[in-house]
Amino acid sequence: MFFVLGAIVGSFLNVCILRIPRGESVATPGSHCACGRPIPLWNNIPILSWFILRGKASCCGRKFSIRYAAIEALTGLLFAAAWHYFPWQEALALMVFCAFGIVLAFIDWDTMYLPDCVNAPFVASGLALSFFLPEMHGEVPAQLQGDMLVAGLHYGLVPALIGLAVGGSLSYWMRYFASVIMRREAMGEGDVILLGGIGAFFGWKGAVFAFFASSFLGLGATLFQKIFGKEVPADLRATEASRLSLEGDEEAADMFASIGSRPFPLGPWLLLGALIYCVCGEAFYARVFPFLAK
Ligand SMILES: [Zn+2]
């Protein structure tokens, strides 16, 4: 049931990932093909439609990416896993986190930019959910379970605000020092808000874990690209750099001119780090920093 719900939500997330960077409304008009014609409901079934249509639009035969189906399946799997493995309060919070996370990760991947219009509600919903479902930050003492206000403030909102402050300031200062050392913008401002939001959802331990995990994941991906990626010839490098520069993306243009690839965005790795924290973060802290265990 939650897989199906996730797949339907995922189909809306696809719309967000496509339209938000272009500044279009996510509500109207309804789903339409790149040729402009509306997509009928029976051609818009999450996951299945891609396979039924074999990746070709029925109106004009345009190919559409398997990524749409993959994002729907990913959302479905994450929703089902959240419901299966976590108590309902945490599961609900995780589903909201995953929905925002998928939109942010793919927009950042596509455009190297984390829009505030997604980041801000992401942080706000982390704080609000913490208040209404304080159990997502750990046990709430039994005698407080009738007192929603005190439980929500002390056991939900307080850890969420500490997480927001730790996540936000950790990435703020890292960004500051890295930018001084590298003499260019090292992380985006969006990453600072994003890590603050991760802190609001998972507390300060989650934010710290996600931050360091993202460094390792990003480094691993860069090494993988260096070893297995194809070397880009110098003339192609220059052409791509000037194209990016024309688009106004000076940062990517510089990067392309020097190393022949686009820089990796940090957002997807931060979000993946937060997801790893959900699975094994507590066990990690218990083993490596036993004095921090609950
Ligand atoms: Zn079409």
pLDDT tens by residue, 53-104: 998 988 898 888 999 999 999 999 999 999 999 999 999 999 999 999 999 9
* Separation of alpha carbons 67 and 65, rounded Å: 5
CA 65–ligand 1 middle distance (angstroms) = 13
CA 115–ligand 1 middle distance (angstroms) = 28
pLDDT reading at 141 higher than 90: no
pLDDT reading at 294 higher than 70: no
Q: Is-above-0.85 flag for pTM? A: yes
Do 76 and 10 form a contact (C-beta atoms < 8 A)?
A: yes
Sequence-ordered list of residues with C-beta below 8 angstroms from that of 205, at least 6 positions apart, any chain: 277, 281, 285, 292
CA 62–ligand 1 middle distance (angstroms) = 6
Of 93, 88, 100, give the one whose Cα is nearest residue 12: 100
CA 58–ligand 1 middle distance (angstroms) = 7
Helix runs in 229-266, H state only: 234-246, 250-259
CA 209–ligand 1 middle distance (angstroms) = 44
User: Where along the chain do its domains lie?
Assistant: 1-85, 88-292
Of 97, 118, 120, give the one whose Cα is nearest residue 107: 118
